[in-house]
Amino acid sequence: MVGPAEPPSAETLRQENAQLAADLAAAQRDNRGYRDLLVAAAHEMRTPLHAILLTLEMIARLSGPEHESARKTQIERAKRVLKDYVSRTSILLDAGRLTGDVFRLNREPVAVEELVSAVTDLYAAKAESRGVRIEVDIAPGMVGHWDRAAVETILANLVSNALKYGEGTPVVVSGKIDNGNAVIRVADYGPGIPDDQRIRIFEKFNRPVSSTSNVGYGLGLWIAQEFARLHRGSIMLEPTSSGSTFVVTLPIGHSTAAGSVA
């Protein structure tokens, strides 16, 4: 006759409890990662959808044969925005791997003038609706070996923030080559970011409070910084007497090694 099983030892119970605690902590981290990705997706998708809506509203107002040329221009703009929407959807599917540090870059030659033009086209309707002028000054011939969609996301987030928080002032996008790096600045002349917020500006869910009328999840700059790091580059908020100037620095040289989050 088999007797009752011996109860587990205190050491066995301790190890099992420790493993359960570790598994629970890992599950909680995964849940937070999925939640962050879903919120990031909503944040990233809202911008092109808003641009499409504004463009369609403009097309609706352009009735009559005398506006045929203008209608065609706005339709082409809507097509570009939709293409950007598809691109952002694809990259956000991959962005889920940012949390797991396994995101891979798809590097290709990227002409900076063309890239900036695509970004400014994306925000042309929003800038026009707010009476904001977007100025571009990119040195000719700038080409970087980057993941195009990722770098476009970086610049789109910066231009979007400049339009949102610049309070109607011009937005200036400039770029040059400096010591083997592409240095791209996105500046506005609004109220700027208070000194006590600058240290936290790239944190997840952090959002400037200088304009209480603007809502958002505070993810744009975090996403932009992660994509810059993947390219072994950086984003910094430049000290200025007025407004905000973000400086993106990305190595332009070709690299066969795919980036990973540092």
Whole-structure pTM value: 0.65
At residue 147, the pLDDT reads: 93
In a domain, 20, yes or no: no
In a domain, 55, yes or no: no
The C-alpha atoms of residue 219 and residue 207 are separated, in whole angstroms, by 8
Report whether pLDDT(195) > 90: no
In a domain, 133, yes or no: yes
In a domain, 75, yes or no: no
**Per-residue confidence at 221, pLDDT binned at 50, 70, 90?**
confident
The token pair at 213 is 């009328």
More confident site: 161 or 195: 161
In a domain, 34, yes or no: no
CA gyration radius, the chain: 23
* Across 234-252, average pLDDT: 92
Report whether pLDDT(257) > 50: no
- Provide the number of structural domains found in the chain: 1
In a domain, 10, yes or no: no
* Across 58-82, average pLDDT: 77
In a domain, 83, yes or no: no
**Per-residue confidence at 152, pLDDT binned at 50, 70, 90?**
very high
Beta strands in the chain (DSSP E): 107-111, 134-138, 143-147, 171-178, 181-188, 234-238, 244-251
| Residue-number span of the structural domain to which 191 is assigned | 107-251
At residue 131, the pLDDT reads: 93
**Per-residue confidence at 209, pLDDT binned at 50, 70, 90?**
low
Strands 171-178 and 244-251: unpaired
Render pLDDT for 40-53 as a digit per residue (tens, 0 to 9).
Answer: 666 666 666 777 77
**Per-residue confidence at 217, pLDDT binned at 50, 70, 90?**
very low
At residue 60, the pLDDT reads: 75
Whole-Å CA distances, 102 to 96, 98, 105, 226: 9, 6, 10, 12
The C-alpha atoms of residue 40 and residue 132 are separated, in whole angstroms, by 26
CATH number at residue 236: 3.30.565.10
In a domain, 25, yes or no: no
Q: Say how many C-beta atoms besides its own lie within 10 A of residue 241's C-beta.
A: 5
